[in-house]
Amino acid sequence: MGYDFTGGRSFDFPIDFSMGLTTVQRYCAACDERGDRLAQNATKNETAENLDLEILENNIIVKKYIIDKWQNIWKCCPRGHFYRTIEPKVSFCIKYEDKNRKKKATITRLRLGKCCINEYLAMMEIVDSDKCSICNSAVKTVEHFLLQCPSSDLCRAVLIACKQMKITPTIGNVLADDKIIDVIFRKNTRMI
């Protein structure tokens, strides 16, 4: 059962109406007449219970519910398999941030698997073959590009950096470690 206090959107989890009232007062009342009307109607509801929770406690409860539900959806989603290997857990945190716009774009594209790598370009029918243009022996995936290509200087540099930092060279580890990301960005010579 949900309470409709968000202008048509309802939640399918149990939530005390006093939390809804707090939400209405905090977010909607200053927005428009509809928010004022919702807040006024909420104050007239005689069945509302007071949980005596602070706003912060209410926010924690709601955020936990959202994260749990989001995580369950993320685990079962047929899309995003590649990205799930890098970020298996959902969160409200920014996943990757850097002041250098080009570096941020490059790493984000690699993390999403949506970049100028032959596997993706062939799927988009931009190139004829998904084979690696450097070694010509395997499908050029992000993993092959960063970790498996025997003829790639970038791949060698990433593997050496992993060995020096005692990091297992997996795609999840490589695209999550800032020092390895620096190596990738410095040694990459092609457009991603």
113 pLDDT more than 70: yes
Enter the pTM of the model. 0.65
- CB–CB of 138/151 below 8 Å? no
Better pLDDT: 59 or 183: 183
Please provide the average confidence, as pLDDT, over all residues in the chain.
80
What whole-number distance in Å separates Cα of residue 127 and Cα of residue 117? 10
pLDDT value at position 108? 92
Provide the 8-state DSSP code for 36.
Answer: H
What whole-number distance in Å separates Cα of residue 35 and Cα of residue 104? 39
- CB–CB of 111/83 below 8 Å? yes
What whole-number distance in Å separates Cα of residue 121 and Cα of residue 130? 7
Domain extent listing, the chain: 17-63, 101-187
- CB–CB of 154/145 below 8 Å? yes
pLDDT value at position 96? 85
